[in-house]
Structure 1
């Protein structure tokens, strides 16, 4: 079977380059080979960045293509075997059907109160005249939002221990290219004792699952219909056969929501605050929009603000946290970008490469929110949350979370970048993030109406 052209370096060299600097590999290959090419990563994989080809893949997702479980194997140590990300076929459909009601529009709005309250709590720790790490601040906010809105755990020893363990476990799961190798290569996953890298990760994971199981067992023993967190909704959910999720399934789905919803949203918020303060004209235009909010403004209005939406979209476009769609396998002969691909061919849609296309986004390296006011992009041209049967379940929550947190911070605090120098993206585990810490100074509190204190 003849595959599209691509680099001819040995597989281990291509794999090493892709682990260390995936964005550089994607950029060089797109420039040299165009919309479709083949990389040899353990086995040959075809990369595609043509919107029409991606539309064909995503609209025929369960008919002509499948999602091979081996392609998502690196996620298993973090999310477990029963995660919706690891499932395929009927099992995947069942998991999505059980999860979806928790992320319905009406339910999402209920989480707005939690987002606002948590943001205020973390902001109160930032002192005027002192600097703080943007990433640490955003991770603190998104972690607590997950703990309260998803896990439904607010305070107490279990909450404190879980928050600490989850943060440590996610960092151990891949905050650098080197750590990412432990997820990508199972041969490295050796338990050499509590002090070894992987051994410590396994023990922290075991304790997290024990704490989650204890929480689930307590709720089963004392049901409370008034609870509105995701865990409570998942415990009450039933599939088409009337069956509920097991404790292990519940724990794996909670870990999936945490991994996919905490680190990614914190990274996007970190980038957003960097871009907003790097370009004064962006900040001024955004503040002009936000300062028009009054005490009767509700969450849905904030969610629809045009320039705020444009800033968030441009943040997600220029350096998407997830750079690839989930891997697909061709099930029926298909022609993509002029190439006939046979069953068994593995594919990756390149989110990053689509977002860097000059024909879609002129001057793609420039941060220009206005591009999202000037035209509307299709779901195959702007795809930060993926698409098809595997589109991110928490997309609506992540978008609302970004907008509410940015609104709360920008309306209430006057911030400034400590270092206005350029920051590039780099691999952070299975996703990407800034290549160095971003520090900001709290110059003071803004003298604006206190409208957001009563938003709801």
Structure 2
């Protein structure tokens, strides 16, 4: 199967429920809904989701590969992510397309590749050690909460160069609230009327305060005398030359994107990794061996298998600007295609025994894509894997990890991410003590 110039006019099949019902089912029960839809309708499924868009889920690797390799003029990822616009902003690297996106990506890329990426290792290690040494030994705790706190500290340091002071302390607190949203909250993002009431009004007020803090930080940084000597992302963006210089509004949107996307997804991936390791003693023992030996290839494989077994983002989005044939169907211009990470990662055709957590498994080309693909592959992918590798290693050098309950935690939809329903509760014990019992 392949994408090609349309010769047919039939739309893909899908449920006929009202848009509001489909939106709620998709937003709240996506992890359970998608496999059922695939069994009933196949690998190309039409849905209607708020706000006012028709989408087509794709669960076939060959078709997904064609989407990722298709022309960026036809497949608009920025328009596909329009649901995030009220929070991320219209200039966000996630929300722009074509030339504007290329410009933003060019400016952000140096901070997350090459020497800059290697330079973050000591920072990540320092903050990780400080965090895990505070963990309660022998008592259950929600490791997802601790991973969110850690990855937020890391990205604050990467973006601002510092994480101290009353302004950043308030920003840290507010960002915690921003990521704690559900499917109903998203309705308020796109409805000024709802924003006058209750939780939607409070969410709008928090977002406004985040903006005030960021604009104040940008103003102070612009006036800094040592700007050219700093290596944090904000300073880098403020020192770009000539026509590439960013306005305050553009800076605000990129900073919000980095702060939210740069910590929430990695934190959740790590929480799922510890959730699985706590329930798989043999894999945990091999992870401890890898931590002791400095076997970062295996430690990274643990993180990658956690992302495969528990996709953090269920799908990526591309809005098509012209009619496109997908298998035996046509996707009209204006529709959004959703290459489904969840459907591919959980498909036994691509991953034998998909329910088994197995870091030794190898991935065929195109069957593992938690960071998306093509020209829009997440520019922070390398940074995320670096963080995860360091964190898993530092934890297993110190602790053994066990589950509070042998049963797996349910998956819960939180805004666009899929998180452990009870926070990935674990118990840790010092390895020296554990070995002596």
Q: Structure 1-normalised TM-score? A: 0.87
Shift of 1:22: 1.2
Gaps of 5+ in 1: 294-301, 449-456
1:346 is aligned to 2:351:
no
Distance 1:72 1:188 in 2: 22
Corresponding residue SS for 1:271 = helix
1:190-229 correspondence to structure 2 within 5 Å: 190-192=195-197, 196-224=198-226, 225-229=228-232
Counterpart of 1:11? 19
Contact 1:321/1:433, CA 8 A, preserved across alignment: yes
Corresponding residue SS for 2:418 = strand
Distance 2:114 2:155 in 1: 17
Gaps of 5+ in 2: 1-8
Select which of 160, 169, 178 maps to 2:184: 178
- Aligned residues, how many? 423
Distance 2:243 2:132 in 1: 44
1:302-317 correspondence to structure 2 within 5 Å: 305-317=296-308
1:394 is aligned to 2:380:
yes
Shift of 1:167: 1.4
Corresponding residue SS for 1:426 = strand
Corresponding residue SS for 1:87 = coil
Distance 1:445 1:280 in 2: 14
Contact 1:68/1:329, CA 8 A, preserved across alignment: no
Contact 1:411/1:446, CA 8 A, preserved across alignment: no
Distance 1:330 1:369 in 2: 39
Select which of 49, 66, 69 maps to 2:59: 49
Give the 4+ runs in structure 1 shifted more than 6 A.
none
Shift of 1:212: 1.9
Shift of 1:248: 1.8
Distance 2:287 2:351 in 1: 21
Counterpart of 1:299? none
Distance 1:68 1:397 in 2: 22
1:25 is aligned to 2:25:
no
RMSD over aligned Cα atoms: 2.1
Contact 1:180/1:428, CA 8 A, preserved across alignment: no
Contact 2:185/2:200, CA 8 A, preserved across alignment: no
Distance 1:203 1:19 in 2: 24
1:143 is aligned to 2:149:
no
Distance 1:109 1:446 in 2: 31
Contact 2:85/2:95, CA 8 A, preserved across alignment: yes
Corresponding residue SS for 2:81 = helix
Shift of 1:308: 1.7
Distance 2:179 2:206 in 1: 10
Q: Structure 2-normalised TM-score? A: 0.91
Counterpart of 1:381? 367
